[in-house]
Chain A
């Protein structure tokens, strides 16, 4: 058969027409599209058995309950635990990205001695030598843990000093310790029973205490209500041209004052309460050093506004004032209001808490200072001693002589003592969910290597569980609430705690704590100015780095500002 040019043209035309009506080109196009959009370098999620484990966030002292979703043994997501009686299912934005922190590029993985690579053996030898040559000091950021006991016992054996770097919530309670003799660590805010809360610059809705505690209370009793059951009054500087702080924006009333005049306003309010006979005679103590007119001059408010605010405060008792730092004038206002030791005010939550020496002062006559990984990165001890700094992440610009890699998020067994501002005692155990890399050690493990006789964290946690069981007080909050008196054995109690239950102590009783003001404190100290929209949700956030997904808040949107590197 002879093939003509016409046949070839017909074949070509038929082939083209046939190709168009067959699914081949469309299928090829689709395949190319899928292939070209799934490059091999695009990361694939880990496959493996998925399980959910309970734990607690240990990245700040508030210890919120956390459900950790694990795939093939790695944490792939976190969520709050709604049965947790304090955090009530909430986590802060940093907590939601915390499961990625262990792979942060700034993760510390080697021992460093003055910027040079070193080893654990050399670090241990250097610290042991320092211990033999002189006194040592240990700085802890979250006192009350089993690891804190290890550190404290170690320094006490060697006549050293145990110091604590306290967060702002704890600092605000320090003046009451001076006036009452009750350790600040035994005190808390009974916000659940307060009806008026006056915050002097404290970011109550943005990183103060457990995120679930006050924000939930506020949402249930105040949000969107013209006459709320919980009146939140925010005293805060008015900074022209900037957004309001989250607390000022959502407060029932915002009182703009001059920056740093919070103490003067507290004194002016106390004076107005006393001058106008708005508080009981028994509250009468020393007169505040400022008249209402003087306070008005310092704060930028009118005298009428200060008197009106004083009346508003006491209109819906119980009322409590909350400072943003250790400003004693605001604590003194609470004494005048009768809030110190009263229901809905400052309460004593514990009978056996102890006083801590602050790490803020000069640490003199020490040969070496060891800083635990729970101390926020920007803490720099005032000392000439050799500094051994534990940290899981390198925040940069460290002045420590030794930088020692510590376990990261969920890599270490720890217990979770009471959160700083809590009105009740709590206790929980956060088991290690992820195997720590071999190159990291906690401070407690490090000290155990120097003193083999030192007791381990596991044993201390076991002893504490035993003490809780023998005490027969409080309630265990797991899947359901069970009074400790009804728990059958210490093993059952320990088992529940290891599975994520929380022990809650007895509620505080009014009258357990009395405060007497001998003289009015200075009002000169100013409340710290907090960056209003920084991503530093909790000022006690101990990691020097933030979860990478926080870029959504400060890079990919303008919801919050990137944090300032305070020590860089």
Chain B
């Protein structure tokens, strides 16, 4: 049975600690880039801080984790890639990026409405000896390719291998949890199968407080956000140059 993996992120629970960003980088062998800036960094998971623009006691701020939204419909990055280096996995719904095919043209970065893709400007490098601490399940990507969240695909491979070893066709959902979900200290980020109506993430996605980023584009992202605060929900359709102030990350 094919799945549609997705996430539901409760913004009311996010404290912006950044544990998801560090856990994501560690899991996916993203190199530390002390020379990088927010424009040239490699942050497949990025937490942005946004305020309601008020001052004094009326000021409210929210932290929004942004990553690949794994668009289901007319996925913008897939349609522009000249190399077929991006595809939507029919078995999981995950938008996959294949760095070996990528030419580094960055059309996909331009096409992505969520700015969730990053270009690898430098050869991956770690301080001497630190390569021993790399995750053996993920190969380091090379310079000149585009990177993004793949929902920790190495963990899906491990879960499948474990299920196959046990003679099962379906994986145990407990064996496949992306690093950011595992790392979130407040359980703000939840992961599950949107195709399963009984999955808590599927229920969250149908909550009246749920919304998707730029839903008007009709790309059907598989990342849902939740907030009880109306000004936060309105952020989802904010247009450039208007609305609340965003601390760009």
Please report A residues at the B interface, Cβ cutoff 8 Å.
Answer: 33-34, 37-39, 41-48, 50, 69, 71-72, 74-80, 89-97, 99-100, 103-105, 205-206, 211-212, 215-216, 218-219, 223-226, 238, 240, 243-244, 246, 249-250, 254-256, 535, 537, 547-553, 555-560
Contacts and interface: CB of A to CB of B under 8 A. Distances in A.
Interface in B79-134: 99-101, 103, 123-134
Given A557-B38, A558-B248, A244 B61 contact: yes
Closest 7 CB pairs of A and B: A556-B41, A224-B12, A90-B185, A548-B32, A43-B131, A557-B249, A219-B186
A556 B131 contact: no
B133 A74 contact: yes
A123 B176 CA distance: 51
Contacts of A223: 10, 12-13, 186, 188
B164 interface: no
A226 B228 contact: yes
B185 to A, nearest CB: 3
A477 to B, nearest CB: 19
Contacts of A75: 133
A549 B32 CA distance: 5
A355 to B, nearest CB: 33
Interface string B64-77: 00000000000000
Interface stretch (B138-146, B196-204, B235-243): B138-146
A44 B130 CA distance: 11
B149 interface: no
Of B26, B59, B132, B185, most A-chain CB atoms within 10 Å: B185
Interface in B1-25: 10, 12-13, 15-19, 21-23, 25
A99 B186 contact: no
Given A45-B138, A249-B62, A556-B37, A548 B127 contact: yes
Contact of A42 (B123, B227, B248): B123
B151 interface: no
B126 A246 contact: no
B217 interface: no
A553 B21 contact: yes
Contact of B34 (A216, A240, A551): A551
B49 A77 contact: no
A74 B18 CA distance: 25
B145 A537 contact: no
Name the residue among B42, B51, B136 with the largest chain A CB count within 10 angstroms. B136
B136 A552 contact: no
B43 A250 contact: no
Contacts of A71: 136
A33 to B, nearest CB: 7
Nearest to B32: A548
Given A44-B131, A79-B182, 8 more contacts: A71-B136, A75-B133, A95-B19, A97-B25, A215-B17, A535-B18, A555-B36, A557-B41
Nearest to A91: B19
Contacts of A550: 22, 32
A39 B43 contact: no
Contacts of A72: 132
Interface in B26-68: 26-27, 29-30, 32-38, 40-43, 46-49, 51, 55-57, 59-63
20 contacts: A37-B144, A43-B125, A76-B136, A91-B19, A96-B19, A100-B26, A205-B15, A211-B185, A223-B10, A244-B51, A244-B59, A249-B16, A547-B22, A548-B126, A549-B32, A552-B32, A553-B21, A555-B34, A557-B41, A559-B46
A218 B18 contact: no
B247 to A, nearest CB: 6
Nearest to B11: A224
B140 to A, nearest CB: 6
Given A45-B139, A552-B32, A103 B22 contact: no
Contact of B18 (A38, A205, A552): A552
Contact of A557 (B46, B62, B228): B46
B183 to A, nearest CB: 6
A558 B22 contact: no
B134 A76 contact: yes
A255 B57 contact: yes
Nearest to A41: B123
B187 interface: yes
Contacts of B182: 79-80
Interface string B193-217: 0000000000000000000000000
B21 A559 contact: yes
Contacts of A47: 136
A107 to B, nearest CB: 9
Contacts of A216: 185-187
